[in-house]
């Protein structure tokens, strides 16, 4: 690693103590560019998103936008189906309506975040009932973001990209922590 950094092949900054620090995004780009095993082979570039809303028009609108943007999209129309799809597809992100039949979005989010196998899945909650109580309640259940319907699709896409970018960096860094010493001394 030190040779890669000192030769300028891997971007890094240097601390006052002489240590090098590499940003997660720079390391990920380097690994993918050089097709380094195992990360480049196992890293899925297509992010999976589950859209959970009982309104068919909302599902289609969001789904078409995300599919055009290169995301893999699945749909659920009630809370119970949402839970089944989460287990089945293991999405990176769930776009979750608060008020759906069979199980509301609050309960879906709470269960998702309480399960160690699904707690890292990001949740963007959406609702046509944007009261302070609803917003606080879903954030207390573990949602990462709350947005009001109707959605500004351009802004919504930016929010999704931002949430998923954080997810990608956290995922790569957590895998690298076990295999790489982040402190490179000279």
Tell me which architecture the domain covering 48-162 has in CATH: 3-Layer(aba) Sandwich (3.40)
Q: Which two tokens stand for residue 164?
A: 């998923």
Q: Rounded mean pLDDT of the chain?
A: 84
Tens of pLDDT, residues 16-59: 888 888 887 777 777 767 766 544 444 456 899 999 999 999 99
Threshold 0.75, pTM exceeds: no
Residue 120 has pLDDT above 80, yes or no: yes
Tens of pLDDT, residues 47-104: 999 999 999 999 999 999 999 989 999 999 999 999 999 999 999 999 999 999 999 9
CA-closest candidate to residue 33, choices 23, 43, 46:
43
Domain map (residue ranges) of the chain? 2-43, 48-162
The alpha carbon of 162 is separated from its chain's Cα centroid by a whole number of angstroms, namely 8
């Amino acid at each position: 690693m030190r040779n890669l950094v000192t030769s300028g092949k891997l971007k890094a900054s240097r601390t006052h103590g002489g240590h090098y620090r590499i940003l997660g995004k720079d390391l990920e780009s380097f690994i993918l560019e050089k097709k380094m095993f195992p990360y480049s082979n196992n890293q899925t570039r297509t992010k999976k998103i589950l859209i959970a809303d009982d309104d068919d028009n909302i599902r289609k609108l969001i789904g078409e936008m995300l599919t055009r943007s290169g995301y893999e999209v699945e749909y659920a129309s009630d809370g119970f189906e949402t839970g089944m799809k989460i287990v089945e597809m293991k999405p990176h992100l769930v776009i979750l309506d608060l008020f759906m039949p069979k199980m509301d979005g609050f309960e879906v989010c709470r269960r998702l975040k309480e399960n160690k196998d699904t707690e890292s899945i990001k949740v963007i909650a959406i609702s046509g009932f944007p009261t302070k109580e609803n917003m606080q309640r879903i954030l207390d259940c573990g949602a990462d973001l709350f947005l009001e319907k109707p959605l500004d699709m351009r802004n919504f896409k930016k929010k999704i990209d931002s949430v998923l970018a954080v997810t990608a960096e956290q995922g790569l860094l957590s895998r690298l922590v076990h295999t790489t010493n982040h402190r490179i001394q000279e």
